[in-house]
Chains A and B, each alone.
Chain A
Amino acid sequence: MLSYIVKRALQSVLVLLAVGLVAFSMFRFVGDPVENMLGQERTNADIERLRESLGLNDPFLVQYWDFLVGAVQGDVGVSFRQGRPALELIMERAPATLELALVSAIFAMVLGIVLGIYTAINRKGPITNFILSTSLIGVSLPTFLIGILLIYIFAVELKWLPSFGRGETVDLGWWSTGLLTWSGIKSLILPSITLGLYQMTLIMRLVRSEMSEVLRQDYIRFARARGLSERAINFRHAVKNTLIPVITVAGLQIGSIIAFAIITETVFQWPGVGLLFIDSVQFVDIPVMASYLMLISVMFVGINFLVDMLYLAIDPRLRDGKGS
C-alpha cells in the first residue's frame, strides 16, 4: 500500500521532468525574445550582451537545468516582457482560471453524471432521445464556435449576460474572486458552459454506457431476484460500480479543462493564465511559458495521483495489493 503510493509519487516526478524537457526543447523554435526586447537602435554587441546575460546562448539542457534549480528554490525567473517575477504574474492570474475551471468542472460532472444515469435507466423515450441528440452538438462543435454562438444568443441578442471579462471581483488578499458579486457570477456562466460542454457530454456518454453495462451484470439480476426496490438497485448497487471507471476519465477531463481554458479565455477575454500564456508566446517570454507549462503539468499529475488514491478508497479489490 505504502510502496504503491511512493511508487506513484516517484512516477509523477518523472512525468514532470519529462514535460519540462519537452517544453524547453521546443522554446528554441518559438522565436528570439531579444528581437522584441531591444529597440530599433540595437547593435550586435547589445544583442550579444543581452543573450549572454539571459543565458540564451546556453544549450537548452543547461537552460532547463538552471530553470529547475531556480524552481526548487521558488524562483522561476523574471518575465522578459514585464520585468516582474514570472511566478507573481501567474499567481495574479491563476484565481480567474481556477474559478472558471472549477465551475465548469462541477457543471460537467454533475450534469454529466445525472444525465448519464437518467439515460441509462430510461434507455428509450423522448427525453432520452432529446438529450442524446443534443449532446452530439457538444461533442462535434469546436469550443470557440460554441463560445461565439453563446455570446451571440445570450449577450448580443437577449442581452442577459455579459460577453467578456470577469465582472466585478472581490479581493481576498491572496485571491481575487468573482463568485461573491452578482456580476462576477453572471460573467462566469457563459465561459464555464463553453468550457465544460464537451467534458459534460463525454462524461454523460461514458456514464450511460458504463451503467448500461453494469445493469446487465449478474449481481444486479440477483439483487432484483432478492426483491430489492428498483431505487436501491439503481442507486445503491449500480451507480457506485459505474463510477469506478468514470473517475479515471473524469480526472483526466478536469486536467484538460484547465489546459483548454486557453481557447475559452481568448474568446471571452477572460483575464486568466491562458490569456497570459498566449501573450507570452507572442513575445517569446520563456520564463512565463515554462512556469505555465510546469504549473499545468503539476495539476495534471496531482489530479491523477488523487484519482489513483480515490480508486483505492472505493474499490476494495485493489486494496489487497492485487491491482498494483
Chain B
Amino acid sequence: MALLEIKNMVVEFPGRHGVFTSVKDVSLDVAEGEILGLVGESGAGKSTVGNAVLNLLQAPGRLAAGEVWLNGERIDQLSQSKFRSIRGKRISMIFQDPMTSLNPIETIEYQLVETILTHLDVSKKEAEQRAIDLLDQVGIPDPATRIKQYPHQFSGGMRQRVVIALALSVEPELIIADEPTTALDVTIQAQILELIKDLCKSRNLGVILVTHDMGVIAETADRVAVMYKGELIEVGDSDQVLRAPKEEYTKSLIAAVPPSNKKIHRFPKVALTDSDGSALQDFDLKGHWLAAGDVHDATQGTLLDVKNLSKRFLVQNAFLERNRRYVDAIKSVSFDVKAGETFGLVGESGSGKSTVARVLTGIHPATSGEMIFDGKDLTGKSGKSEAAAARGDIQMVFQDPYSSLNGRMKIGSIVAEPMVVNNLTSNKEERDDIVADLLELVGLGKDAARKFPHEFSGGQRQRISIARALATRPRFLICDEPTSALDVSIQAQILNLLKDLQEELNLTLLFISHDLPVIRQMCDRVGVMQFGELMEVAETEAIFEAPQVAYTQQLVSQMPKFSK
C-alpha cells in the first residue's frame, strides 16, 4: 500500500471571470522511503498539488473533487481542527525561500519547541532537548548555542536546515518539499539535497519534491511526475522519464534544459501546445538597420579591458574612521573581453559578479582600478563626457523582468527611452519605426508598443528588456542573470535569441549567471568569482573539463548533472 495516494484530484480557483482549474484530474502515489519528483513549469499546478494535500490552498482555492489517502486513511474530508493534527505531525512541508519561512523575531528554539509542544505530549525540558538533537541531525554545528539565535544570524543554507529540522520535528511520515533548493547556491543545494536523501532513506520517509529543475530531479528523485497546465503528463522512474520520455511535452521540456556535459549550437525549439507562438518565428536580421549600422565593424582584439578593478561599499557608517565597516564587493579584478565573444562570469551569491556589471555600467562608481572600453576610459577620471559617450555602446539586461520595466509606461515608450535620453533620433516618427522594428526583432510584433508591461509574461518582458537594450545599437551587452527568473522553455528561447542577435549584430556579451549549464551553452570564455575575487579565467570547455582552481573544481562537481 502506498504511503500517500492522491486520486483524481481537481483543484479550482473560482474568480470573477469564471472558475480556473489549476489541477485537473491528477492521480499520484508515494511509497515509504521514496522520493517522488513533481516537475513542471510555472503555472503547471505542481505546488498546488502539495498545498491541496495539506489543505493549505490559498482562498478562494478549493479541492473540487478527488480523494487523498494517507496510510489507508482518507484525509481530504477531515475538519480543519482534525487536519491540524496531520500537518506537521504526519505530513510536513518545506518551502522555497528559507529567508522568509522563519519568523524573524523569535529564536530558533522558540519555533522548534512550539512545534514540538503542539504535537507531542512532552515537557518543555524534553522538547528543548529534542530541538537541540534535531539541529544536530540536520548538520548544524554547535546546536546548543545556535538554537538561542535568531533566523537572521543564520546563512541561507543553514536556515534551510533549520526549516528541515522544523519539518522533521515530530517525525512525519511524508515531507512535501516545494522547491527546497531554488533559492540556494549550487554548493549549498548539493548539501541540502544530500540531507533530504539521507533522511528519506534513514527514516523511511516519503518525499514529494516539487521543482522546476531537471538537474535536481535527476540527482534526487526515484520517480518523476511531469505536470503541464494542471494535467499530469507522464509518471515513471526517473531514468526512464528523463532519458526516454514517452510524451511529446516531456520530450520538448527535456530538450530545453541546457545540458551540463556538452555545448550545443542552439536549443531545439520547444513546440509547446499553446505557448505564445509569436516568440518562435524566425526573423531575418540580414539587411536590418540594426545589422547595417556602421559601428558594427568586426573589430578583432580587445573591446573591454578591466584592470585591478575594486569596489568597496560602506556597510556601517561611524564618526571615526576606525569604527566604519566596509565590505569589498570586488577585489582587484582584471580581465578582458574580446570583440564579438561572450564572456561569462560565474559565481555564487555574494561573489561580486553582479557588482562588476553595475560598476561597468556606471550604476556604482569604481573605488579603484581601470576600465578601458574601445580605448575610452569608463571610470570618468579622464572626463565625464568620454565615459558617457562610451556607455552609449554598453547596455544592460537585468535579472528580474517584472521590476525592471516601469509598469506605468507603454512598451513603446520603454523601448524608445534610451534613444530619447541619448538624443539618437531626430523625431518621433523615426523613433516609432525603430521601436516597431526592435519589437519585431525580439519576436513580439509591433503592436506590443501600445500595451503595458503587465499584459506580458515573464519571458515576453525579458524580450522587451532586450529590445530596450538594443535601442542604442550597443556593441556591448551586459546580461545579468537574464533567464534565472524564467521557465526552462522560455529560457531556451531567450538564450537562442541572444545567440542569434550576437551572430547577426556582432555583439559582444558579458553574460553573468550562477547557472553552470547555461554558462556552458552561452560563453566562449568564463571567469569564476568567489568572495569578490576572480579565481580563474579560461576557455569554457577548459573550465568544465579541466578546472584548475580548487573552488572551480568544487563548483563544477556539485552542479546537478543532467545529461541526455
A interface list, Cβ under 8 A from B:
3, 217-219, 221-229, 232, 236-237, 240-241, 244, 314-317, 320-321, 324
Contact = CB atoms under 8 A, between A and B. Distances in A.
Interface string B179-222: 00000000000000000000000000000000000000000000
Interface centre among A225, A314, A321 (most CB of B within 10 A): A225
B104 A225 contact: no
A314 B54 CA distance: 33
Contacts of A229: 84, 118
Interface stretch (B94-102, B516-524, B540-548): B94-102
B105 A316 contact: yes
A10 to B, nearest CB: 11
A222 B54 CA distance: 11
Given A226-B118, A227-B87, A314 B105 contact: yes
A49 B301 CA distance: 90
Given A225-B93, A226-B92, A228-B115, A316 B150 contact: yes
A217 B153 CA distance: 19
B118 A224 contact: no
A224 B58 CA distance: 12
B88 A228 contact: yes
A228 B102 CA distance: 14
Contacts of A314: 105
Contacts of B557: none
Nearest to B325: A321
6 contacts: A218-B97, A227-B119, A314-B105, A315-B105, A316-B150, A317-B105
A240 B166 CA distance: 21
A168 B84 CA distance: 56
Contact of B87 (A225, A237, A241): A225
A323 to B, nearest CB: 10
A194 B61 CA distance: 44
Nearest to B103: A219
A27 to B, nearest CB: 36
A314 B150 CA distance: 12
Nearest to B54: A225
Contacts of B102: 219, 222
A207 to B, nearest CB: 16
A226 B85 CA distance: 9
Contacts of A316: 104-105, 107, 150, 152
A231 to B, nearest CB: 11
Nearest to A224: B56
A240 B111 CA distance: 14
A211 B199 CA distance: 36
Contacts of A232: 114, 118
A223 B100 CA distance: 12
B105 A241 contact: yes
Contacts of B97: 218
Interface in B152-166: 152-153, 163, 166
Given A228-B114, A316-B104, 19 more contacts: A3-B318, A218-B97, A219-B100, A221-B101, A222-B95, A222-B101, A223-B103, A225-B54, A225-B92, A225-B93, A226-B118, A226-B169, A227-B84, A227-B115, A228-B88, A229-B84, A232-B118, A241-B104, A316-B107
Interface of B: 54, 56, 84-89, 92-93, 95, 97, 100-107, 114-115, 118-119, 150, 152-153, 163, 166-167, 169, 316, 318, 323
Contacts of A315: 104-105
B355 to A, nearest CB: 20
Contacts of B93: 222, 225
B113 to A, nearest CB: 12
Nearest to B119: A227
B150 A218 contact: no
A298 B150 CA distance: 35
B374 to A, nearest CB: 42
Contacts of B85: 227
B56 A225 contact: yes
Nearest to A225: B93
Contacts of A237: 103, 106
Given A217-B100, A236-B114, A226 B152 contact: no
A324 B56 CA distance: 38
A309 B88 CA distance: 37
A227 B88 contact: yes
B247 to A, nearest CB: 32
Interface centre among A219, A228, A241, A316 (most CB of B within 10 A): A219
A218 B58 CA distance: 12
B316 A226 contact: no
A321 B153 CA distance: 12
B88 A226 contact: yes
Contacts of B56: 221, 224-225
A244 B153 CA distance: 19
Contacts of B150: 316-317
Contacts of A244: 105
Nearest to B59: A123
A227 B86 contact: yes
Contacts of A321: 316
A316 B323 CA distance: 22
B87 A317 contact: no
Instruction: Please provide the 5 A-B residue pairs with the shortest distance between their CB atoms, ordered closest to farther.
Output: A227-B88, A227-B87, A226-B88, A218-B100, A225-B93
Interface centre among A3, A228, A320, A321 (most CB of B within 10 A): A228
A226 B87 contact: yes
A237 B153 CA distance: 19
Contact of A227 (B89, B104, B105, B318): B89
A318 B104 CA distance: 11
Given A3-B318, A227-B87, A316-B150, A241 B114 contact: no
A225 to B, nearest CB: 4
A9 to B, nearest CB: 14
Nearest to B178: A225
B85 to A, nearest CB: 7
Contact of B166 (A226, A317, A324): A226
A3 B150 CA distance: 23
Nearest to B84: A227
Contacts of B86: 227
Given A228-B114, A241-B105, A244-B105, A222 B152 contact: no
A222 B153 CA distance: 19
A226 B105 contact: no
B47 to A, nearest CB: 11
Contact of B103 (A3, A224, A225, A241): A241
A244 B88 CA distance: 28
A234 to B, nearest CB: 13
Contacts of A241: 103-105
A221 B95 contact: yes
Nearest to A220: B103
A268 to B, nearest CB: 41
A222 to B, nearest CB: 4
A224 B87 contact: yes
A240 B114 CA distance: 16
A318 to B, nearest CB: 10
A320 B151 CA distance: 13
A227 B95 CA distance: 15
A3 to B, nearest CB: 7
A278 B239 CA distance: 85
Contacts of A217: 100
A281 B88 CA distance: 66
A240 B316 CA distance: 28
A222 B118 CA distance: 14
A229 B167 CA distance: 16
A222 B163 contact: yes
Contacts of A223: 103
A119 B92 CA distance: 30
Contacts of B88: 225-228
